[in-house]
A = this chain, B = another copy of it.
Amino acid sequence: MALNFPRPLLSVDVIIFSILNNELVLLLTRRPAEAAEPFPGQLCLPGGFIDIDRDEDLEGCARRKLLEKTGVATPYLEQLASFGSAARDPRGWSATVAYFALLALPSAGSDGLWRPVASLPPLAFDHELLCRRALERLRAKGEYSSLPAFLLAEPFTLPQLQQVYEIVLGRPLDKSAFRKRMLDRDFLDEVGLQPGAGVRPAMGYRIRERQLDFFSQSFRPRE
């Protein structure tokens, strides 16, 4: 089969979540202002075309864009889904592989354009859809995994972690149930009491092996 048929455009976009001022936020950038570009000057997700010389693979490309935008090299990174159609880019048939990342903001919010997911502005291309899907996935996984822990800098305390869960899930959780759940799964390592901003110091924890943990299930597989 000959390979000289037209090829779609292929890009990678990254939805980068973090917590800022007790809100779930994500990082946006701005499209170039030239009128020749689609959606000139509009807000969009960080991303861009695959560079077949620099990028080893899809995840490498996502990791590169993440590093360029945030300086963070090893956050939690997961492939979300791909979106491709004849219509999504005025320049022609195009597909994008969307990744989402979770990281803890160093503090001063870095220099990026962090926007609360609760009030996203209009975005270029189908990026609003990508954000929606990423948010759905994050929330879904928050229901039954330790994923939201990756939004926190280590070490963190259980009250802090619960707050992050409540921000992600959008509802209050019972303290006792939450603590039992987290500690029973045995995916956290104690690293000593944290002086704490509050009144009483709380135990600090790190994620063991920095791995994702899943909680209870359905057809409860017997040991």
Contacts and interface: CB of A to CB of B under 8 A. Distances in A.
Interface residues of A, number: 43
Nearest to A32: B1
A215 B10 CA distance: 36
Copies assembled = 2
A58 B85 contact: yes
A119 interface: no
Contacts of A32: 1
Contact of A173 (B8, B181, B219): B219
A86 B52 contact: yes
Contacts of A125: none
Interface in A206-223: 215-219, 221
A9 B1 contact: no
A7 B32 CA distance: 21
A52 B93 contact: yes
B84 A50 contact: yes
Contact of A82 (B1, B58, B143, B221): B58
Given A8-B50, A52-B6, A95-B97, A144 B86 contact: no
A160 interface: no
Given A7-B49, A58-B95, A215-B218, 4 more contacts: A56-B86, A57-B87, A82-B97, A95-B97
